[in-house]
Amino acid sequence: MGIQAPSLPEAYVRNQDKSELEKSIDDWLPITSSRNAKWWYSAFHNVTAMVGAGVLSLPYAMSELGWGPGIAVLLLSWVITLYTLWQMVEMHEMVPGKRFDRYHELGQHAFGDKLGLWIVVPQQLVVEVGANIVYMVTGGKSLKKFHDVVCRDCKSIKLTYFIMISASAHFVLSQLPNFNSISGVSLAAAVMSFSYSTIAWGASVDKGKQENVEYGYKSASTSGTVFNFLNALGNVAFAYAGHNVVLEIQATIPSTPQKPSKKSMWRGVIIAYIIVALCYFPVALVGYWAFGNAVDDDILITLGKPRWLIAMANMMVVVHLMGSYQIYAMPVFDMIETVLVKKLHFPPGLSLRLIARSVYVAFTMFIGITFPFFSGLLGFFGGFANAPTTYFLPCIIWLAIYNPRRFSLSWITNWICIILGVLLMILSSIGGLRQIIIDAKTYYFYS
For the chain, what is the radius of gyration of the CA atoms? 23
Q: Identify whether 61 is part of a domain.
A: yes
Tell me the pLDDT of the chain averaged across its residues.
85
The amino acid at residue 53 is A
Average confidence (pLDDT) over 59-65: 90
Q: What distance in Å separates the CA atoms of residue 242 and residue 45, rounded to the nearest whole number?
A: 9
Average confidence (pLDDT) over 331-345: 92
- Nearest partner of 280 among 9, 44, 62, judged by Cα: 62
Q: What distance in Å separates the CA atoms of residue 252 and residue 98, rounded to the nearest whole number?
A: 14
Q: Identify whether 399 is part of a domain.
A: yes
Given a cut of 60, whether residue 355 has pLDDT beyond it is yes
Q: What is the pLDDT of residue 6?
A: 43
Q: What is the pLDDT of residue 374?
A: 54
Q: Identify whether 53 is part of a domain.
A: yes
Count of structural domains, the chain? 1
Given a cut of 70, whether residue 285 has pLDDT beyond it is yes
Range of lowest pLDDT (2-6, 56-60, 212-216): 2-6
Please report which confidence band the pLDDT of residue 382 belongs to, taking 50, 70 and 90 as the band edges: low
Q: Identify whether 179 is part of a domain.
A: yes
Average confidence (pLDDT) over 223-236: 82
- Largest Cα–Cα distance of the chain, in whole Å? 97
Domain extent for 201: 38-441
Tens of pLDDT, residue by residue over 110-152, are: 999 999 999 999 888 988 888 888 889 888 988 998 898 888 8
Residue 62 host element (H or E): helix 58-65
Range of lowest pLDDT (10-24, 72-86, 254-268, 330-344): 10-24
Q: Identify whether 29 is part of a domain.
A: no
Tens of pLDDT, residue by residue over 142-166, are: 899 889 888 888 888 888 899 999 9
Q: Identify whether 49 is part of a domain.
A: yes
Q: What distance in Å separates the CA atoms of residue 126 and residue 103, rounded to the nearest whole number?
A: 13
Q: Which spans in 208-306 are helix H?
A: 222-238, 243-250, 261-291, 299-303
Cα dihedral across residues 94, 95, 101, 104: positive or negative: negative
Q: What distance in Å separates the CA atoms of residue 224 and residue 226, rounded to the nearest whole number?
A: 5
Given a cut of 50, whether residue 1 has pLDDT beyond it is no
Please report which confidence band the pLDDT of residue 100 belongs to, taking 50, 70 and 90 as the band edges: very high
Q: What is the pLDDT of residue 3?
A: 44
Q: What is the pLDDT of residue 16?
A: 45
Q: What is the pLDDT of residue 373?
A: 64
| Residue with more model confidence, 383 or 322 | 322
Q: What distance in Å separates the CA atoms of residue 423 and residue 417, rounded to the nearest whole number?
A: 10
Other beta carbons less than 10 A from residue 76's beta carbon: 15
Contact 189, 50 (CB under 8 A): no
Sort 343 into a burial class: Cβ within 10 Å, 0-12 / 13-18 / 19+: exposed
Average confidence (pLDDT) over 261-280: 93
Range of lowest pLDDT (110-114, 148-152, 168-172, 382-386): 382-386
Average confidence (pLDDT) over 13-42: 75
Q: Identify whether 133 is part of a domain.
A: yes
Q: What is the pLDDT of residue 441?
A: 72
Q: What is the pLDDT of residue 444?
A: 63
170 Cα distance to chain centroid: 16
Average confidence (pLDDT) over 352-362: 95
Q: What distance in Å separates the CA atoms of residue 298 and residue 139, rounded to the nearest whole number?
A: 12
| Residue with more model confidence, 446 or 126 | 126
Q: What distance in Å separates the CA atoms of residue 198 and residue 55, rounded to the nearest whole number?
A: 11
| Residue with more model confidence, 370 or 112 | 112
Return the DSSP state at 406: T
Average confidence (pLDDT) over 263-284: 93
Cα dihedral across residues 404, 243, 227, 200: positive or negative: positive
Give the CATH number of the domain where residue 251 resides. 1.20.1740.10
Q: What distance in Å separates the CA atoms of residue 285 and residue 292, rounded to the nearest whole number?
A: 10
Q: What is the pLDDT of residue 371?
A: 74
Q: Identify whether 211 is part of a domain.
A: yes
Range of lowest pLDDT (204-213, 344-353, 388-397): 204-213
Q: What is the pLDDT of residue 270?
A: 94
Helix (H, G, I), strand (E, B), or coil: what is residue 348?
Answer: coil
Q: What is the pLDDT of residue 15?
A: 41
Average confidence (pLDDT) over 365-382: 72
- Nearest partner of 373 among 301, 270, 444, judged by Cα: 444
Q: What distance in Å separates the CA atoms of residue 424 and residue 151, rounded to the nearest whole number?
A: 42
The amino acid at residue 316 is M
Q: What distance in Å separates the CA atoms of residue 141 and residue 272, rounded to the nearest whole number?
A: 27
Q: What distance in Å separates the CA atoms of residue 333 and residue 101, rounded to the nearest whole number?
A: 14
Contact 244, 331 (CB under 8 A): yes
Cα dihedral across residues 92, 96, 99, 103: positive or negative: negative
Q: What is the pLDDT of residue 53?
A: 63
Average confidence (pLDDT) over 215-232: 82
Please report which confidence band the pLDDT of residue 10 belongs to, taking 50, 70 and 90 as the band edges: very low
Of 72-76, 196-200, 412-416, 432-436, highest mean pLDDT: 412-416
